[in-house]
Structure formats: structure tokens, C-alpha cells
């Protein structure tokens, strides 16, 4: 075995104190970086962009008398009855499924659990605990029907006459 001079064996020995010092400074650096990342995330605006609850459903001429139209994108029914226009939520009051209009039996049904509602939203059958809510509806200045999905109104009191 060759004999190495003492200076070539270990140029820069890391003793125990230096090892723990480097480990501690590295841990503090990682913690500081995490703190900066969370602080940046906290200071960034966290805004939820939702569509407006007010929906333009078109002109009254678009709806035939005694028709029930489902607007799938808005989750609402537009009903044109003898009394005028009104709107119902199409979301079942049982577990939030989207209901469907069955014109052959003149009933709104929930495909999930079988709840049935009449044209005015009253519960006819099934596990739904409450009727479908009536939604605020009005005629805009342009002659378009507007529905506010966020505002519920008393049933059979809010008809829009065209």
C-alpha cells in the first residue's frame, strides 16, 4: 500500500459541527422558501368567477301557449300558461338532480329517484320533500323574458304577461 502524504488524504474535512450547521441552514432555507410560497398564494386574489344568475330566455313569441321548455344550460323551466309566463328551477329538491319534462304524461320527473312534479312544481310523487321553487321572472325593456335564478318567489303569484 502506497504511503500518501498527510495533506492528500483529506483536503477539507467536514467535522460533525460543520455538518449539522449546514443541515440546519439548509432546513431553514427550505422553510423560508415554503413561507414565501404560501405568503404569495395568500396575497394573490382568490376569486371564484360564476356566471350571472340573471338569464335572458328570449322573446315571448318563442314559446307556444301551454308549453314547458327546459333550458338545460341554466337549469330552469319556462312555462307559458293561460295566466302568463313563469319559471321554475329544474333542480330536484330531493338530491339536486336535473329533472326532465315528460309531455306525454304532463309531468316533470326526476330520473334519479323518481320524484314527480306537476307543471306548477308541486310534488305529486316520490322522495322530494319540497316543490320546485318558482323563480323571479320579468320582461326587460327590450321585450325579452328575464329570469333571476337566485331569487325565489311565491308560487302562483308571479306571472309575466306578454
- Supply the CATH number for residue 68's domain: 2.102.10.10
Same domain, 126 and 75: yes
Same domain, 105 and 77: yes
Same domain, 107 and 35: no
Same domain, 72 and 17: no
Instruction: Kindly state whether residue 8 falls inside one of the protein's structural domains.
Output: no
Same domain, 74 and 27: no
Give how far Cα 38 sits from Cα of 26, 33, 43, 61, Å: 19, 9, 9, 55
14 phi, psi to nearest 5 deg:
-100, 110
- State which residues form the domain around 90: 54-153
pLDDT in tens, 82-112: 888 889 999 988 888 899 888 888 899 988 8
Same domain, 33 and 111: no
Same domain, 90 and 140: yes
Instruction: Kindly state whether residue 126 falls inside one of the protein's structural domains.
Output: yes
CA dihedral in degrees (54, 57, 60, 65; nearest 10)? Answer: -110
Binning the chain into helix, strand and coil, the percentages to the nearest 5 are 20, 30, 45
Instruction: Kindly state whether residue 4 falls inside one of the protein's structural domains.
Output: no
Same domain, 76 and 137: yes
Alpha-carbon gap, residue 23 to 13, rounded angstroms = 16
pLDDT in tens, 109-161: 988 888 999 888 888 888 888 899 999 999 888 889 999 988 888 877 667 77
Same domain, 107 and 34: no
pLDDT in tens, 18-60: 889 999 999 999 999 999 999 998 888 888 888 788 889 888 8
Same domain, 102 and 126: yes
Instruction: Kindly state the percentage of the chain with pLDDT values over 90.
Output: 25
Same domain, 116 and 59: yes
Instruction: Kindly state whether residue 74 falls inside one of the protein's structural domains.
Output: yes
Residue matched to cell numbers 459541527: 17
CA dihedral in degrees (149, 155, 158, 160; nearest 10)? Answer: 80
- Give the count of domains, the chain: 2
Instruction: Kindly state whether residue 2 falls inside one of the protein's structural domains.
Output: no
Tell me the three cell numbers of residue 116: 314527480
Amino acid at each position: 500500500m502506497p504511503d500518501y502524504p498527510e495533506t492528500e488524504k483529506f483536503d477539507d474535512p467536514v467535522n460533525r459541527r460543520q455538518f449539522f450547521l449546514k443541515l440546519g441552514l439548509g432546513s431553514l432555507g427550505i422553510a423560508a422558501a415554503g413561507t414565501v410560497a404560501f405568503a404569495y398564494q395568500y396575497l394573490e386574489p382568490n376569486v371564484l368567477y360564476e356566471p350571472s344568475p340573471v338569464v335572458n330566455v328570449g322573446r315571448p313569441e318563442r314559446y307556444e301557449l301551454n308549453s314547458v321548455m327546459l333550458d338545460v344550460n341554466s337549469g330552469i323551466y319556462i312555462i307559458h300558461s293561460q295566466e302568463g309566463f313563469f319559471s321554475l328551477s329544474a333542480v330536484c329538491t330531493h338530491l339536486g338532480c336535473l329533472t326532465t319534462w315528460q309531455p306525454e304524461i304532463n309531468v316533470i320527473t326526476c330520473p334519479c329517484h323518481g320524484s314527480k312534479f306537476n307543471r306548477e312544481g308541486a310534488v305529486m310523487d316520490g322522495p322530494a320533500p319540497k316543490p320546485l321553487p318558482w323563480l323571479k321572472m320579468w320582461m326587460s325593456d327590450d321585450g325579452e323574458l328575464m329570469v333571476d335564478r337566485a331569487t325565489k318567489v311565491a308560487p302562483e303569484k308571479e306571472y309575466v304577461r306578454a
